[in-house]
Amino acid sequence: MDKIMAYFGTFTAAKDGAVASFKFEYLTTLLFAAIVIFAGQAMVKHSKLLRKYAIPAPVVSGLIFSIIVSVLKGSGTIGFEFDTKIMKDFTQNIFFLCVGFGFSTKMLKHAGGKLCAKIAFAAVLLITLQDVAGVALGKVIGMDPLLALQCSSSAMSGGVGTASAFGPIFKGWGADAATTVGVAAGTMGNIMGSVIGGPVAAFLIARYSLKADPNDKPAELATGKVNPLENHSMVRAFAMLLLLAGLGMPIYCLLDNIPMISMPKFIGCLFAGAIGRNVLEATHQNTYEPEVNALEHMFLELYLALVLMTIDLTKLVSVAGQMGIILLMQAVLIAVFGIFISFRLFGKDYGAAVMTAGNIGWGCGSGPNAVANEKAIMDEYGWHNIAWVLYPSFAVIIDDIYNPIFLSVFGSLFKH
């Protein structure tokens, strides 16, 4: 039996008060990750509530999976571990490379430099306020500043992905529960952003009697022609991403050696993706957009599944109350920011209200939250092309660049 079990992982017998454990090897670990992905998609498909709040499918099933594993470990039955180190690192970096690859200078032409500068300013200001306020409140209630940061821009503006990426970094700086707290905060942020965004935008539309321009209509996208994902193009797109990922390492090296900054590896990939995309466009080369979009979603799903299924929820017990207080403050902050800063900064018109809904979406969760909030508002009140085409992608790109840099610099002040 021991010989057969060795094909699937390593068993460690109970001793010295420790629970017996079994660590699955990486292919068997990926089997569980696939189950998490399939189960999550099925749950979201059959739940209007989960779809309404735009909760990523792997988050739903991954949390359930981790709860089961934590209960088995906590009850003393057996502890399960998974070999995820290489695959987590790989999927995380390829995903953020794809995010960077989405940043095209052509996108800026949809609105002009002035509005883009305002969007960038609002994103930077919100991230900074989230972290400063989170750490300040954390000190008042006695919470580790690094864990407070995981309940601030790391999980709020950054979402589950960024919180997961900074979990190991903050753990290395002395906050053991950083990944678990960050993932839990990011999950709550998804719900908060969806609950707050629509009502705030609806309030602004009613308060200022705003109306959509009936002549502002969606660009014609329905051509009836589907872009095929061919084997040849998929292989070339994947090889291109691998090439850019390797070129991201010198960028990561340069940034990580800036004094007082501990930079996550994925930021090098993000910059490499953005540079590669614009070089290809400038030289009129194929950018393989459909293929890169497919790969981005694939690696995000797998990355989230691997992260969520391996968190130890028992570590949340000691910080649950403190985390709730900071998240409540973040909810109030994002609503006030949307009403008094974003809306006014973006022009106090209908488009500004739609973008404010998007701002609250990504500011409390993720880019998909921003898209979901904007779509809900436009379905009810009317279309706004600039808000739809430009805002979510541009704001999230600014977030993905500034947020990791600020978290690295600010967080380094609180190393244990």
Mean pLDDT of 248-275: 83
Residue 125: Cβ within 10 Å count: 14
Mean pLDDT of 247-253: 93
Mean pLDDT of 17-30: 92
Choice between 189 and 354, residue whose per-residue pLDDT is larger: 354
Output phi, psi for 81, to 5 deg.
-125, 160
Which tens digits make up the pLDDT trace of 342-363? Answer: 999 999 999 999 999 999 989 9
Beta strands 21-24; 9-12: pairing state: antiparallel
- Mean pLDDT estimate for the chain: 87
Please report which residue ranges of 178-219 form alpha helices under DSSP H: 178-207
Instruction: Please report the pLDDT score of residue 152 as a whole number.
Output: 97
Lookup result for tokens 């972290």: 131
Residue 95 CA to residue 274 CA, distance in Å, equals 13
Q: What is the CA radius of gyration of the chain?
A: 22
Instruction: Please report the pLDDT score of residue 188 as a whole number.
Output: 83
DSSP per residue, 30-83: HHHHHHHHHHHHHHHHT-HHHHHTT--HHHHHHHHHHHHHHHHHHTTS-EEEE-
Lookup: tokens for 40: 């999550």
Above 80 in pLDDT, residue 226? no
Residue 70: Cβ within 10 Å count: 19
The DSSP H or E segment spanning 162 is: helix 159-172
DSSP per residue, 101-154: HT--GGGGGGT-HHHHHHHHHHHHHHHHHHHHHHHHHHHHHT--HHHHHHTTTT
Choice between 279 and 380, residue whose per-residue pLDDT is larger: 279
Instruction: Please report the pLDDT score of residue 249 as a whole number.
Output: 95
Identify the CA nearest to 186 among candidates 224, 152, 214: 152
The DSSP H or E segment spanning 249 is: helix 231-256
Tell me, rounded to whole angstroms, the distance of Cα 47 from its chain centroid. 22
Above 60 in pLDDT, residue 223? no
What is each CA distance from 73 to 18, 76, 284, 362, in whole angstroms?
Answer: 10, 5, 55, 35
Lookup: tokens for 327: 């998240």
Lookup: tokens for 149: 């940061």
Mean pLDDT of 274-283: 92
To the nearest whole percent, how much of the chain has pLDDT over 90?
Answer: 50
Instruction: Please report the pLDDT score of residue 74 as a whole number.
Output: 83
Residue 303: Cβ within 10 Å count: 27
Which tens digits make up the pLDDT trace of 107-154? Answer: 677 667 899 899 999 999 999 999 999 999 999 999 999 999 999 999
Q: Is the pTM of this model over 0.85?
A: no
The DSSP H or E segment spanning 11 is: strand 9-12
Please report which residue ranges of 342-390 form alpha helices under DSSP H: 343-345, 350-363, 367-381, 385-389
Above 90 in pLDDT, residue 205? yes
Instruction: Please report the pLDDT score of residue 18 as a whole number.
Output: 82
Residue 322 CA to residue 361 CA, distance in Å, equals 23
Per-residue b/e over 143-181, b at no fewer than 16 CB within 10 Å?
Answer: bbbbbbbbbbbbbbbbbbbbbbbbbebbeebebebbbbb
Which tens digits make up the pLDDT trace of 286-311? Answer: 999 889 988 988 998 898 889 888 87
Lookup result for tokens 């979901």: 372
